[in-house]
Amino acid sequence: MRILFITASYLPTINGVTSHVSSTTQALRKMGHKVFILAPSFPGYRDLDKDVIRYPSLPNPFIKNYPVGIPFLPLKKARKLKIDIVHTHHPLVIGQAAAQIAERLGKPLFFTAHTQYEQYLNYYFPRGYDATSKILIRDLVKISQKSKKVICPSANVEKRLIKHGIRNTVVINNGVEDFFFNKPQEKPFSPLTLAYTGRLNREKNPFELIKVAGELKKMVPNFKFWIFGSGLLIQKVQDQTLKLGLENNITFTGEVDRKLFPEIYKSVHLFITLSLSEVMPISILEAMASGIPTISLKESGLEEIVIDKKSGYICERDPRKIAEKIYEITKDKENYYNLAQKTYQFTLNFSAKSTALKLIDLYTSFKS
């Protein structure tokens, strides 16, 4: 099968959508399918993958490393690719362009809803939320009507879309590549090591991470906390770290090549995320694939993968209580290792190969 993924985000930009598109592409190709990726151009970046097609873009004035553009694929070139399936990973302008490409080629369109879009609007456009939310929901309904199926990475996303009247949905979980799966081994608890991987933006609640670290230091003075990633708030988060005297505990690494994480995670005990606007983050699944339990908040959107005492712990939104839970986990090493094994076994259900197989079954049922 010949598949065209259309995205607003791809390498060298590092985020969940990029990881999903990349890992799913590789899994589909291993199964013998041809996958093309239509993505925005990025100054100075050269693709090694000859099947990545770049459309013109401009620098994003608000967010570095997120160029903006409108997908363009000449009809003559599109026909030469002999596409069977068009699959967009975004709504709005990207989704509309994908719908036009699918219509011109006479091929089925699919759309994956990767984000809790309404919550993001509430973070970035609180004053105009009502108006922008209506525009967004109208667009989601429109792209769903043009799509054969709307793919939801989690059941929570599906429930939310159904509330908006979108019913042609199907749940296909995100998956991670095979090299992330490493059966957990015993590791020393000195020092206790935490990790967070992701953007340092408002929707990820990064200041709460630092507050938890501040409380944890009172119980475990020599703990380490690795924060992998960057974002709009990185300077303010670093300032808060200095203010609380945590500069010897917390290390900000910036963006890191994903292929290094399996080795990094061999020395990490717990992954922590305090975001309240998640879908099914690949960064968490990657950590869990190494048997690293996750600390998350109630009603975070992570309930399908962070299951209390099975793949992590779900906590109240209270920095001190979260720190106490972390301390409690480390005091019972036998219980911790049992949880690590359960986390690893649970995550085996979330492989990129499984995601790819489900996509092919779906595509096949609609292929003309």
Q: How many helices (H) and strands (E) does the chain have?
A: 13, 13
Please provide the size of the chain in residues.
368
Q: Which residues of the chain have pLDDT under 70?
A: 117-131, 368
How many Å apart are CA 32 and CA 46, to the nearest integer? 25
Assigned architecture for domain 178-347? 3-Layer(aba) Sandwich (3.40)
Q: Nearest CA to 143 among 183, 173, 102, 106?
A: 102
Assigned architecture for domain 2-175+351-366? 3-Layer(aba) Sandwich (3.40)
Biggest CA-to-CA distance, the chain? 65
How many Å apart are CA 212 and CA 321, to the nearest integer? 9
How many Å apart are CA 362 and CA 356, to the nearest integer? 10
- The DSSP secondary-structure symbol of 60 reads -
What are residue 123's phi and psi, to 5 degrees?
-75, -40
CA angle 75-17-4, nearest 5°?
25
Calculate the alpha carbon distances from 317 to 23, 24, 141, 300 in Å: 33, 34, 33, 10
Helix then strand then coil, % of the chain, to nearest 5: 45, 15, 40
CB 285 within 8 A of CB 175: yes
How many Å apart are CA 270 and CA 216, to the nearest integer? 13
Calculate the alpha carbon distances from 295 to 118, 188, 215, 287, 303 in Å: 24, 20, 15, 12, 11
How many Å apart are CA 45 and CA 212, to the nearest integer? 38
Token readout for 366 is 């609609």
Calculate the alpha carbon distances from 292 to 50, 242, 251 in Å: 35, 28, 19
How many Å apart are CA 87 and CA 186, to the nearest integer? 42
The confidence score (pLDDT) of residue 132 equals 72
The confidence score (pLDDT) of residue 119 equals 58
The residue ranges of every structural domain in the chain are 2-175+351-366, 178-347
> Which one-letter amino acid corresponds to residue 4?
L
How many Å apart are CA 265 and CA 262, to the nearest integer? 5
Residue that is written with structure tokens 């553009």 in the block: 69
The confidence score (pLDDT) of residue 234 equals 96
Helix (H, G, I), strand (E, B) or coil at 234: helix
Identical topology for domains 2-175+351-366 and 178-347: yes
> What is the C-alpha R_g of the chain?
21
